[in-house]
Structure 1
Amino acid sequence: MILEAVMLQVKQGMEGEYEVAFREASKIISSMSGYISHELQRCMEVKGKYLLLVKWETLDDHTVGFRQSKEYQEWKKQLHHFYDPFPIVEHFENVLF
């Protein structure tokens, strides 16, 4: 399992509209092969800042299966115009002790 982590900054005054759009777009990502779960967290200190965490079975499920799909084009259409600056996506794996 891998964890996709994205710090999102939503344009000022668009937070409510973004949360509604994200709720709708969640149907897209949750239907993808290799998807496990996701959550969106709202920052308490910085208005418009969010943390998106998505669990995928493999890195390719996100970078190839989702990012190269027609569903991703719809995801982009619904959400990408809210971000400024455009977010950096990072992937993490569990450290075994």
Structure 2
Amino acid sequence: MILEVAILNVIPELADKFERNFKIASGIISKMKGYISHELQKCIEEESKYILLVRWETLEDHTEGFRGSKEYLEWKALLHHFYNNPFPVVEHYRGIDLG
């Protein structure tokens, strides 16, 4: 499993609209091949800052499958205009066996 992590700095006065659009966008991403789950968390200290966590079966399910799809264009149209500088950096993580 791969964990996609993105810090989203949303334009403060657009935060409510961003959350509404994100609910719509959730329906898009959740239907993609390799998708496992996702969550959006809102920062307590900075109310217009969010963290997006998406679990994928493989890295390619995100970087090639989702990002190369027509559904990603819908995702971008719904969400990308809400982001303030800096534009979100997306990173990918894999679990470490601690046992």
TM range (shorter): over 0.9
Alpha-carbon shift at residue 25 of structure 1 (Å): 0.6
CA distance in 2, matches of 1:71, 1:15: 23
- Aligned pairs, number: 97
Correspondence 1:19-58 to 2 at 5 A = 19-58=19-58
Normalised by the size of structure 2, how large is the TM-score? 0.96
Residue 84 (structure 1) shift? 1.1
Is residue 2:16 matched to residue 1:16?
yes
Counterpart-to-counterpart distance in 2, 1:96 and 1:56: 18
Q: CA deviation at 1:7?
A: 0.4
Matched, 1:82 2:99: no
Supply the distance in 1 between the matched residues of 2:33 and 2:88 (Cα, whole angstroms). Answer: 23
When the two structures are superposed, what TM-score results if normalisation uses the length of structure 1? 0.98
Kindly provide the amino acid, as one letter, of the partner of residue 91 in structure 1. Answer: H
Q: Structure 2: any 5+ residue segments left out of the alignment?
A: none
- Backbone CA RMSD of aligned residues: 0.5
Partners of 1:84 and 1:42 lie apart in 2 by 15
* Structure 1 alignment gaps of length 5 or more: none
Matched position secondary structure for 2:97: coil
